[in-house]
Every structure is written in C-alpha cells, then in structure tokens.
Amino acid sequence: MFELKEVALIYETKKQALAALKSTDLKIEKGEEVGIFGPSGSGKSSLLFIMSTLKEPSRGEVKYEGKELTALTPSAKAELRRKEFGFVFQEHFLINHLTVRENILLPLKEKRGARKRLEEITTALGLNELLKRFPYELSLGQSQRVAVARALIAGPKVVFADEPTASLDDENGSRVIELLKSYCSKSGATLILVSHSFEIIGDFRRRLKVENGQVYEVGVNA
C-alpha cells in the first residue's frame, strides 16, 4: 500500500541542515497495524506526515497504491485525504464554533446520506448525548472520541493517529486505541499510529522504532 524509497526530510537553515528523517525505505501493506514509537523529536511524526501528504519530503519517493504522492497537486492531495485517509492527532483539533455533529460530519462532501453511519459511530463511541454540544463544552476524553468519530466517519482506508492518547488518562487512552484498532480490523483498513511510548503500541502486529531520524523494525507480534 505504502512504499517509501530513500525518503528524507531535511530542514535547512542558513547555517546548518537538520535531518528530521534520514534516508528511509519502508513498505506497509494493506490492512497492517503499524505502531511507530520513539522519543520526542526523533522524526516519527514527520514520517507520518509525509505518508499522509501533510508534508513534502525533501527527497525520495512516496508511493500510495502505486501512485507517486509527491507528484500530486494540492487539490488532488486534499481529495485523497478526504476519500482514503482518516486523522487523529494529539490535540483533538475540533472547530470551536461547530457542534459535535457538524465536526464529525466535516470530512464528508455529501452529508445527507450519512445519518446511519453517524449513528453507528456515535453509538459505538458513546457520543449520542453530545451531538448538539460545542467542543468547548466537552472534556478532553470526549473531545478525543469526537476526533476519532470524525476520522472514521468517511470509512477511510488508512487511519493516521499521531499521539492520540498523549493528553488523555490511561482509561480514555486505551479506549481510543481500542476503537481505532477495532475499526481497522473490521474494515480491513490500515492503522498507522505514532506514540512516544512503547507501551501503547506494544501489542501492535508491526512495530517501528524511530531514533535520530532512522527507522528500525522492532519486530512483528504473532
């Protein structure tokens, strides 16, 4: 599904060049459950952003289902993100003046036929009572569950999660991870989750470690 060849991300300033991600080769198959961990500033989020078209690599090729992502126009990238990708971030990034319901439906172009899907997801995530509220009226755990619902509403093929549990307590954190995993296993979607803690991704089938911009395979759980 994803094929990265010699991908690197280098921040250049006048005085020096800083490699956030060093030359990386990586393949991720469809339906895989990939956990990426590493200390802060190691380049794990950069890897996720490059794969999800949110950042341009400084060099190298990023292919998604055979298509070269760096060659796409900004509009084509946006279209790809809308149709195929779902996102959950450390901060929930909900839009403050939209209700929970409106926030969840945001990735959908055609919102009319989405009622059933919305009901399924909000029931699964326990959000039915909160649909008319605004983000500033929610707790952190509730906000993150809304962000998960928003990521899953369009039925994405790939779910990118960047430190989704960092601002949550343990109970809420594991609940969010479980929700993401269960969606991916049911729908056959690929899950790419980034965390600074190995504990979070400990039971993922495939685990990658990023350190100083280098990506290492840690091992595959049976």
In whole angstroms, how close is the CB of 76 to other proteins at the nearest point? 9
Query: Is 75 or 171 the residue whose CB approaches other proteins more closely?
Result: 75
CA dihedral 111, 117, 123, 127 (to 10 degrees): -20
Contact between residue 111 and residue 82 where contact means Cβ atoms under 8 Å apart: no
Query: Is 87 or 204 the residue whose CB approaches other proteins more closely?
Result: 87
Beta bridge partners of 12: 17
- DSSP three-state, residue 91: coil
In whole angstroms, how close is the CB of 218 to other proteins at the nearest point? 26
Give the C-alpha distances (Å, rounded to integers) separating 176 from 127, 170, 212. 13, 10, 28
In whole angstroms, how close is the CB of 203 to other proteins at the nearest point? 28
* Residues near 56 by beta carbon (within 8 Å), at least 6 away in sequence: 50, 70
Query: Is 121 or 206 the residue whose CB approaches other proteins more closely?
Result: 121
Query: Is 35 or 135 the residue whose CB approaches other proteins more closely?
Result: 135
Query: Is 27 or 132 the residue whose CB approaches other proteins more closely?
Result: 132
* Alpha helix ranges (H) inside the chain: 44-51, 74-84, 100-104, 115-125, 140-152, 170-187, 198-201
Q: Give the interface with other proteins as residue ranges (CB under 8 A).
A: 49, 54-56, 74-75, 78-83, 85, 87, 93-98, 106-107, 132, 136, 150
In whole angstroms, how close is the CB of 159 to other proteins at the nearest point? 13
Query: Is 107 or 173 the residue whose CB approaches other proteins more closely?
Result: 107
In whole angstroms, how close is the CB of 74 to other proteins at the nearest point? 7
∠16-47-84 over CA atoms, to 5°? 140
